[in-house]
Structure 1
Amino acid sequence: MKELWNGRFDSNEDIDLRLWQVIKEFSKESANKPGICFVGYNTDDGVVRNLGRKGAEGGSNAIRKAMQSFPAVENLALYDYKNLKSKVLEEAQDEYSSKIAKVIEKGIFPIGLGGGHDIAYGSYRGVRKAYPDKKIGLINFDTHLDIRPYDNGPSSGTSFKQILDNDDNTAYSIIGYKKQGNTKRLLETANKYNTLILDEEYEENYIIENIKKFISGVDVVYITFCMDVFDAPYAPGVSAPTIMGLDPKKGKRILREIMKSGKVVCVDFAEVNPVYDIDSRTAKLAGALIYDIMLNMR
């Protein structure tokens, strides 16, 4: 695991331990006990197909590096299912979705590390494999609806249309939506699928109240973060930086309320692009949100 995790060392005493010292490789023998497993989605093939900025294939390792020296969390097992064998979008989604399903079936909580936002279709497929009959609530923290047509093949912008076209037992909500990032056609497509659209400008309690109602109507919840949802100074290392995007602390508080539902079964973080990052701000923000999830796991 040292090729992925190798941080600051104080000692091997429990009181000094950091994440890199306690994380283990996920395997079939991994214990069925409360824990988190990171699954790398180190491809940006979908971003390139969507005419975005290349570089997000390095996002998985950048997030790991941002977290590796965080203090270990007591009584929380930590695993890593490593990165992908193939970076071709369709093959990557197949491999990644199988990993997500295996982690869930072990009773361990998966957190995907991306990579392009086509990770969303892979995460969904993994959740669906693990919960074949459950209604899945899709919560997308994103500036963009990512509901583009895929007549010419999938990309980082097509995941939610792919899901909604083929699975009636799902519901879709977006938090952090901005009008400047979505055409009238995309908005009309989202409305056709009864998407709950929560604008970045909406007051925090209003967002929380409405997302709780959304969650009450589904069985399990999958959360995905496209890091371009956040204001550009906090998340410059993305394919499409957002001016006047979501405030990270507001996003963190909303995430905490969603996690309290007890229905969340998978979270992922996409579009971290270290090529364009500044002082690893974007990777560190993703890492901080992940650590908050770890600290508040039920």
Structure 2
Amino acid sequence: MEQLWKGRFDGDGAADLRLWQVVKDFDPSLKSSGICFVGYNTDDGVRRNLGRPGAKDGSNAIRAALQSLPNIENLPIYDYKNLSSEILEEAQKEYAEKIGNILHSGLFPIGLGGGHDIAYGSYLGIRSFYKNETIGIINFDAHLDMRPYEHGGTSGTSFKQILDSDANVKYAIVGFKKQGNTKRLLDTAKKYNVLIFDEEEVDIDETEVILSLKKYINTVDIVYITFCMDVFDAAQAPGVSAPTVMGLNPKKAKRIVRELFKTDKVVCIDFAEVNPVYDVDNRTAKLAGALIYDIMLHRRHK
């Protein structure tokens, strides 16, 4: 664990502890409450989608952004480490097994990516545990990621793969950008009844978006939230595979996520496309870390 977590040291007293000092290795036989990180350290799907490689190191960059933050009392924290394979299909299978094990243990999984093909792995892990429930996916993303996959999956195919294989899933996207999606992708989304919230719509009134999302959540049993960090403006998230001009405001996203967690239906969340190669002062990793920390503060009250 010391290879993944190390940070500032102020002392061993309870009042001095930071996250790196309290994170423990995850064991599949564990039964506990709290949260568990798992790294999706591959950008094979990004390469296949002709994106900028580098996201394979995103999981460790997010850990580094979190490691020196203050400990959160009454919140057990575990880490299931990174994957053994970077080949897309093998990575998704291994990652799905880890998500299933975390859910079985009673912990809340937080995925650290890696390409946004992490979403298909998260779905498979969730479905292995929640076999019959209706899953509501909420994707914070500038792109629909509903491309065809006749020649194999990529970082841009996950949600079409999910919807094609499972009629008991609904899909909503927050932060959508028109300039990042072709007419064919929009037509595909319409075919699958995707609920779309444009970035500008969120910027004008996030309260209305929250109300609409809560109505959406009322129609499902459980919720899976996934972040593609390119949903945010490139000034705040430059280290991604496909930077977005005039992207989503991070504070608005944080407030929306807080409200989604109040429904008590969120069972998994992940953060994808953190690309340290193109990051500036670790800005993107720090943003992911800040969002995760806010979620951890919520989980403390469980």
Q: Deviations over 1:142-186 (max 9, x none)?
A: 000000000111000000000000100000000000101000000
1:226 aligned to 210, 225, 228, which one? 228
The whole-number CA distance in structure 1 between the counterparts of 2:138 and 2:227 is: 9
Amino acid aligned to 2:273: E
The whole-number CA distance in structure 1 between the counterparts of 2:178 and 2:285 is: 26
Amino acid aligned to 1:71: P
What's the offset of the Cα at 1:243? Answer: 0.5
Q: Is the 8 A contact 2:29 2:105 kept in 1?
A: no
Q: Secondary structure at the match of 2:45?
A: helix
Amino acid aligned to 1:204: E
Matched, 1:68 2:73: no
Q: Residue 18 of structure 2 corresponds to which residue in structure 1?
A: 18
Q: Residue 192 of structure 1 corresponds to which residue in structure 2?
A: 191
1:293 aligned to 288, 292, 295, which one? 295
In the alignment of these two chains, the number of paired residues is 297
Amino acid aligned to 2:161: Q
What's the offset of the Cα at 1:205? Answer: 1.0
The whole-number CA distance in structure 2 between the counterparts of 1:155 and 1:149 is: 9
Identity of paired residues, percent? 68
Q: Secondary structure at the match of 1:145?
A: coil
RMSD over aligned CA atoms reads 0.6
Q: Secondary structure at the match of 1:293?
A: helix
Normalised TM-score (structure 1): 0.99
Q: Secondary structure at the match of 2:207?
A: helix
Runs of 4+ aligned structure 1 residues displaced above 6 Å come to none
Q: How does 1:1-298 map to 2 (within 5 A)?
A: 1-30=1-30, 32-202=31-201, 203-297=205-299, 298=302
The whole-number CA distance in structure 2 between the counterparts of 1:81 and 1:45 is: 21
The whole-number CA distance in structure 1 between the counterparts of 2:7 and 2:71 is: 12
Amino acid aligned to 2:192: Y
The whole-number CA distance in structure 2 between the counterparts of 1:166 and 1:231 is: 32
Amino acid aligned to 2:179: Q
Unaligned runs of 5+ in 1: none
The whole-number CA distance in structure 1 between the counterparts of 2:207 and 2:15 is: 38
The whole-number CA distance in structure 2 between the counterparts of 1:28 and 1:169 is: 28
The whole-number CA distance in structure 1 between the counterparts of 2:215 and 2:188 is: 22
What's the offset of the Cα at 1:296? Answer: 1.1
Amino acid aligned to 1:296: H
Q: Deviations over 1:2-49 (max 9, x none)?
A: 10000000000000000000000101343x232100000000000000
Amino acid aligned to 2:9: F
The whole-number CA distance in structure 2 between the counterparts of 1:164 and 1:227 is: 22
Q: Secondary structure at the match of 2:6?
A: coil
Amino acid aligned to 1:213: K
Q: Deviations over 1:44-84 (max 9, x none)?
A: 00000000000000000000000000111100000000000
The whole-number CA distance in structure 2 between the counterparts of 1:169 and 1:28 is: 28
Amino acid aligned to 1:16: D
Unaligned runs of 5+ in 2: none
The whole-number CA distance in structure 2 between the counterparts of 1:260 and 1:187 is: 30
Q: Deviations over 1:211-236 (max 9, x none)?
A: 00110000000000000000110000
Amino acid aligned to 1:8: R
The whole-number CA distance in structure 1 between the counterparts of 2:118 and 2:189 is: 19
The whole-number CA distance in structure 2 between the counterparts of 1:33 and 1:208 is: 31
Q: Secondary structure at the match of 1:201?
A: helix
